[in-house]
């Protein structure tokens, strides 16, 4: 059971003025549990929640921005992979790589889902349901908006992508996806997510204001910036290469535990094609030698 605490001005605005607000969706079936008698109601008060579908869409876009920010963290080589390279730990490197790609798939699903909900806020006639099914959300859009969304969703199966809201979290509850298949899935999901986020941001920008209230970048600008950065990395992937590491342009896994002595690893900035911070470029990682063996001299 969902319990909603509200007041008369807030309920009036959210259930009557907005077509896609949660309050509008439950107005016909909500059961009043307690109703305090009205005393000098200030009907013009600031309610603190969006007072239009446009404002609701702008607030929803923050959910898309958060998902894009998480995708952005899953695109470059992660700290766990760096450590595995330094330790020469092949198994942990491959495990970490798979976990990162699964996380990228899951966050891409979230970005697509929340982008569709933004479009529903802008163009729909009823509140978006609490669902992770992308097809159900797309069906709530008018044909013109649905056509725009389809262009970005053409490279994926929405039903398969929808599963990743749970699949990326409850890994043991689903059939295992082979590491060899993850780069293809991650790239296709992420490309669709960036396209949908860009579409949602553009639609919000076209429909209303795009400037942040405190001078900080608005969600539209953040979404566009993050999506463009992720897309630059994905453009460098080559799925024709024989291994996941080669496909993504990252160092190969160590050949066996303790055998990887020195590896040059591009910094996250270099992997993502952005200027390095404080002149940082690549790092040389040196792993400890195996017991009883002297450490070879690093190559120049």
Question: In sequence order, what are the beta bridge partners of 282?
Answer: 266
Could you tell me the CA-to-CA distances from 170 to 164, 178, 241 in Å, in that order? 9, 16, 30
Q: Is residue 9 pLDDT above 80, yes or no?
A: no
Confidence check: pLDDT of 88 > 50:
yes
What is the largest distance, in Å, between two alpha-carbon atoms of the chain?
Answer: 84
Confidence class of residue 2 from pLDDT cuts 50, 70 and 90? low
Helix 53-74 with 90-123: angle, nearest 10 deg: 170
Give the confidence band of 232 by pLDDT, cuts at 50, 70, 90.
very high
pLDDT at 223: 96
Name the more confident of 232 and 218.
232
Region 240-264: what's the mean pLDDT? 79
Question: Is pLDDT of 126 > 50?
Answer: yes
Mean pLDDT of 198-221: 73
Cα angle at 224 between 21 and 279, to 5 degrees? 140
Residue 34 is predicted with a pLDDT of 63
pLDDT attached to residue 52: 78
pLDDT at 89: 95
Q: In whole angstroms, how far apart are CA 29 and each of 24, 25, 129, 157, 287?
A: 10, 9, 15, 34, 64
pLDDT tens per residue, range 141-168: 999 999 999 999 999 999 999 999 899 8
Kindly give, in sequence order, each residue whose CB lies less than 8 Å from that of residue 208, ignoring residues fewer than 6 positions away.
Answer: 54, 55, 58
Q: How confident is the model at residue 61 (pLDDT cuts 50, 70, 90)?
A: very high
| All residues at 6 or more sequence positions from 53 whose CB lies less than 8 Å from its CB, including other chains | 18, 19, 20, 21, 121, 122
Take residue 292 and report the two structure tokens written for it. 């009883």
Tell which wins on pLDDT, 271 or 235: 235
The residue-averaged pLDDT of 125-148 equals 90
The tens digit of pLDDT for each residue in 20-34 reads 666 666 655 666 666
Q: Which has the closest alpha carbon to 195: 156, 233, 153?
A: 153
Higher pLDDT, 42 or 104: 104
Query: In this predicted model, which residue has the larger pLDDT, 98 or 36?
Result: 98
pLDDT grade, residue 131 (50/70/90)? confident
Band the pLDDT of 125: cuts 50, 70, 90: confident
Q: What is the pLDDT of residue 210?
A: 44
Radius of gyration for the alpha carbons in the chain, expressed in angstroms and rounded: 24
pLDDT digits (tens, 9 = 90+) for 44-54: 555 555 567 88
How far apart CA 199 and CA 201 sit, in angstroms, is 5
Per-residue model confidence as pLDDT tens digits over 72-81: 999 999 999 9
Give the chain's mean pLDDT: 80
């Amino acid at each position: 059971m969902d319990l909603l605490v509200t007041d008369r001005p807030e309920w009036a605005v959210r259930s009557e003025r907005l077509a896609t607000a949660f309050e509008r969706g439950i107005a016909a079936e909500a059961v009043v549990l307690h109703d305090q008698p009205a005393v000098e109601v200030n009907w013009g008060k600031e309610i603190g929640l969006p007072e239009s579908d446009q404002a609701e869409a702008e607030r929803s876009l923050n959910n898309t921005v958060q998902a894009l920010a998480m995708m952005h963290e899953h695109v470059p080589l992660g700290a766990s992979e760096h450590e595995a390279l330094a330790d020469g730990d092949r198994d942990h490197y491959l495990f970490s790589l798979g976990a990162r790609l699964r996380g990228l798939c899951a966050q891409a699903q979230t970005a697509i889902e929340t982008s569709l909900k933004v479009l529903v806020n802008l163009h729909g006639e009823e509140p978006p349901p609490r669902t992770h099914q992308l097809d159900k959300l797309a069906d709530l859009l008018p044909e013109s908006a649905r056509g725009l969304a389809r262009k970005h969703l053409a490279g994926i199966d929405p039903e398969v992508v929808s599963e990743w809201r749970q699949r990326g979290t409850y890994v043991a509850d689903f059939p295992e996806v082979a590491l060899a298949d993850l780069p293809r899935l991650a790239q296709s999901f992420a490309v669709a997510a960036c396209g949908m986020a860009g579409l949602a941001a553009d639609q919000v920008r076209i429909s209303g204001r795009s400037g942040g209230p405190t001078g900080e970048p608005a969600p539209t600008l953040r979404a566009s910036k993050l999506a463009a950065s992720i897309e630059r990395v994905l453009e460098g992937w080559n799925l024709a290469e024989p291994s996941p590491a080669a496909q993504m342009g990252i160092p190969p896994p160590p050949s066996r535990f303790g055998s990887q002595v020195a590896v040059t690893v591009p910094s996250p900035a270099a992997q993502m094609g952005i200027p390095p911070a404080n002149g940082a470029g690549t790092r040389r990682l040196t792993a400890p030698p195996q017991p009883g063996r002297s450490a070879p001299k690093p190559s120049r």
